[in-house]
Structure 1
Amino acid sequence: MSFRWLKLYMPRGLYARAALIIVLPIVLLQVAVSFQLISRHFEGVTEQMSFAAAREVQLVIELAEARHEKADELERVLEGLDIDLRFPNRIDAKDTRLWYDFSGIVIMRTLREELPELQYVQLRDDRIVRLFLQGSNAPMVIEFDRRRMSASNSHQLIVTMVFFGFLLTLVAYAYMRNQLRPIKKLATAAEAFGRGRVVPYSPRGALEVRAAGNAFLNMRNRIERFFEQRTLMLSGVSHDLRTPLTRMKLSISMLDADEREELDRDVEEMQRMIDAFLDFARTDFEDERSELDAAKFVTEVVDGCARAGQDVKVHKIEGDGNVTISPVSVRRAIENLIGNAVRYGNHAEVSVRITEKSLRIRVEDDGPGIPADQREEAVKPFARLEPARNQNKGPGVGLGLSIAADVARAHGGVLRLRDSERLGGLRADLVFGR
């Protein structure tokens, strides 16, 4: 039997689920205990008290039948038992009981079993019991206090159970909240690190939580060392390559124009590859985050690319608001997407959509696009799909989409590649959470 439908009604937060785990057993226990107590204890007590009251009523009925001979004795019994007795001309009544008066069911049942003369029982409130009886000589109406037939203040037990149940729930929730706080801090630190930010974190709490926290810190330190070593290595390699490239440029400049054209093109290609490697080596963990106007920021990046000779423009901006991002890394990602768009197409357009929860930067081109089965491969470092795409401005290095995807992941976002329905080429969406 599948219980997957329960997931639709389960809370998603850790605190809410912990509260459910605490409160649900307490409520079920109280309901079960209350039911058993009311059905057994109060029912038994009410039945015994009703039986005793029925014996007293039976005595009154016997004296009332012989009231002419035992008038004085009847008066003493009524006064001693605090019972009111009337002799109406006829009986015109019906059984009455409040809908929540469950002990009244037991009272009626016991009285009917013990009093054959009983016609109707009225329990209009919790204070008076009124009995309508048909005696051998005349009808009778007997009234007495309800407290003689059922336990008084029976609600006090339920009130006490609810009060202490609520109190124990608060105590348990406070303790559980103290235990869950280290888990929440660990989740906050992990989420921040996934978005490229390092927040102070110290493992606390139970042994298992401390172990998970220490494992997270070790993982974070290893990742930071890896990025640092990668940056140093590529920076060192690029620095070592710049010196011979400079010498090559000086040597080529001394050649004739016809002889150095192809060599200049090769040197520029090598320079461009080194710059791409450096961009790939830089990580968002080293950039400072700042709060920027998203629409204004993207517009400035597009205008800068247009001034550099790229055929790109802003198509549409939806919404407004500020976002906290690394401007250097995000600018690099947008420029790479625009560069790819104008490299493999003739024209590119950029759209921005800002909502309460996300920022989406869309770059579309009119090129051949990327087949759906190759898009996952296209975002990998050094992936080059030239056989599948036309090239207007020379071959690429294979790092443009990879850099954009890394920047998106560092901000807790994602890079999505789709077909552009409007321009017919590739549609690249950079999506960041706000």
Structure 2
Amino acid sequence: MQFGWFKQYVPRGIYARAALIIVLPVVVVQLAVSVVFIRRHLEDVTSQMTSTLVRELDVIAGFAAAADSRDEAMDAMQPILVTLHINARFVRRADIPSRDRIRWYDYSGRVVRATLRNDLPDVLAVIQPDDRVVHLFVDSDLGPVQISFNRRRVSAAAPHQLFVTMLFFGGVMTLIAYVYMRNQLRPIKKLAEAAEAFGRGRSVPYAARGALEVRTAGNAFLDMRNRIERQIEQRTMMLSGVSHDLRTPLTRLRLGLSLIDEDDAGPMLRDVDEMQALLDAFLDFARGAAEGDPERIDPISLARSVVEDAQRLGRPVSLATVEGTGTVNLRPVALRRALENLIGNAVRYGTRAEVSVTLTEKSLRFRVEDDGPGIAAEDRAEAVRPFSRLDPARNQDKGSGVGLGLAIVSDIARAHGGVLRLGTSDRLGGLMADIVIGR
């Protein structure tokens, strides 16, 4: 049997699920005990007590059976009424209530009424205004009689005390269990927060605590985080060192070629420039999103600044639409590089580009669109891989590249806990690149 439909009603947070695990069994047990007690004990006890009262009323009626008037009947019943602590008096029919009156939540009162009407003939009305007294109206040969007696004659006081006690101690035990459970769940929440922050490119202080299994998972996370940080640092240092060491011979080559005739040295100078661009791309890819610390910035101001810088360089780019306001925790240097890469690709393969920013309560989206040839849907996964060059999809004659532009953007997006999505622009018809970051 499939229970997938039930998942939509289950809380998603670990605290809410823990509370459900604690509260649900307590509530179910209390309901089961209450139902069993009411049906098996309270109802039987109330019926027996009410039946005893009915037999007493039959005895009282026997004393008044031979009376010829109401006064004689009252005189005959008075001794036993005093003994049984019951009040009785004759009333007018106009004083009889038209219907029974019982509080809607009074379960034992309904049992009393049902027993009285079933065992006593000629019952006119049963009135139970509170827990202290019951008024019973019955018909007789001498006229209607109102019989009043203490409510405790027909129902016990213990059920109410039982329910109150059960609810009180159930609430106390639930509170104690919740406090204990919260202390057990807090290390798991801290671990989740540290993992989420690391996924967004931030390293927050974390110490493994809690139960043995949680400490084991926490220590494994710390080892993994240290290993990843060490690998990133080593990769950055290695590529930075290689790039730095290769700059010196490239500079000597450029100086040597500058002494040669321009016509002969032109092709070689272009090769040197291409090698220089390749080294710069390697260095950008090595740095990735590690450059700069996260800080609260206005993403709209950042996008506007990047677009203005591109316009000053003569690039045909504009800021199309802006939605939302607020600040987001980002690495501005890395994100600026990502936007510059997307804009550079857009103007290289198209004639113009547009940038838009959408900021909501849950996400931030940077979008760069162009009117170029775009990238086919089946090639988009390959396009974000390092050193991937899709010659059939993009016009490589319009500029040189090493296949790291989109890979750098994707790396920066993942470091912010987001993703790079490629599609087709409905506005311009070319490539649409979205950097989507969760808040």
Structure 1 length normalisation: TM-score? Answer: 0.93
Q: What amino acid does structure 1 have at the position aligned with 2:262?
A: A
In the alignment, is the contact (CA less than 8 A) between 2:288 and 2:408 conserved in 1?
Answer: no
Report 1:9-408 matches (<5 A).
Answer: 9-67=9-67, 74-88=77-91, 96-98=100-102, 99-112=104-117, 114-115=119-120, 117-126=121-130, 127-135=132-140, 140-152=145-157, 154-408=159-413
State the Cα distance separating 1:409 from its structure 2 match.
Answer: 0.6
* Aligned residue type for 1:102: Y
Q: In the superposition, relative to structure 1, how do residues 151 and 330 fare at CA in structure 2: closer, same or farther (>3 Å)?
A: same
Q: State the secondary structure of the residue aligned to 1:240.
A: helix
Residue pair 1:121, 1:129 contacting (<8 A) in 2 also: no
Structure 2: unaligned runs, 5 residues or longer: none
C-alpha separation between the residues in 1 aligned to 2:391 and 2:399? Answer: 10
Q: Which amino acid aligns with 2:240?
A: S
Question: Quick one: distance in 1 between partners of 2:283 and 2:144?
Answer: 109
Paired positions, count: 433
- Supply the distance in 1 between the matched residues of 2:364 and 2:197 (Cα, whole angstroms): 17
Residue-by-residue CA offset, 1:363-386 (whole Å, 9 max, x unaligned): 111110000110010000000001
Task: Tell me, yes or no, if the aligned pair for 1:67 and 1:74 is still in contact at 8 Å.
Answer: no
Greater shift in the superposed pair: 367-376 or 325-334: 325-334
Aligned to 1:285, what secondary structure does the other structure show? coil
Task: Flag the 1:106–1:302 CA change in 2: closer, same or farther, 3 A.
Answer: closer
Contact 1:30–1:161 (8 Å) recurs in 2: yes
| 3-state secondary structure, aligned to 2:147 | strand
The change in CA–CA distance for 1:387 and 1:74 in structure 2 (over 3 A counts) is: closer
Amino acid at match of 1:79: V
Partner Cα distance (1:272, 1:132) in 2: 105
Change (3 A) 1:350 1:87: closer
Structure 1 contact 50–111 (Cα < 8 Å) conserved: yes
1:70 CA drift (Å): 9.0
Question: How big is the shift at 1:286?
Answer: 4.6
CA distance in 1, matches of 2:92, 2:361: 80
Q: Deviations over 1:24-65 (max 9, x none)?
A: 111111111111112222212212211221222111111111
Q: Which range is displaced more, 178-187 or 299-308?
A: 299-308
For 2:302 and 2:129, locate their aligned partners in 1 and report how far apart those are by CA, in whole Å. 75
Structure 1 Cα separation of the partners of residues 435 and 203 of structure 2: 22
Cα distance in 1 for partners of 2:92, 2:101 equals 24
The offset of 1:73, in angstroms, is: 5.9
Moved more, 424-433 or 409-418: 424-433
Between the aligned partners of 2:331 and 2:141, the Cα distance in structure 1 is 101
CA contact (8 A) 2:64 2:76 kept: no
1:124 partner letter: Q
Instruction: Say if 1:384 and 1:52 are closer, same or farther in 2 by CA, change over 3 A.
Output: same
1:88 and 1:248, CA in 2 relative to 1: closer, same or farther beyond 3 A? Answer: closer
Structure 2 distance, partners of 1:289, 1:133, is: 85
The answer on whether the counterparts of 1:49 and 1:149 sit within 8 Å (CA) in structure 2 is yes
**1:5 alignment counterpart:** 5
Select between 282-291 and 337-346 the one with higher mean Cα deviation. Answer: 282-291
**5+ residue gaps, structure 1:** none
Q: What is the aligned-residue identity percentage?
A: 59
Contact 2:124 2:139 in 1 (8 A): no
2:54 alignment partner AA: A
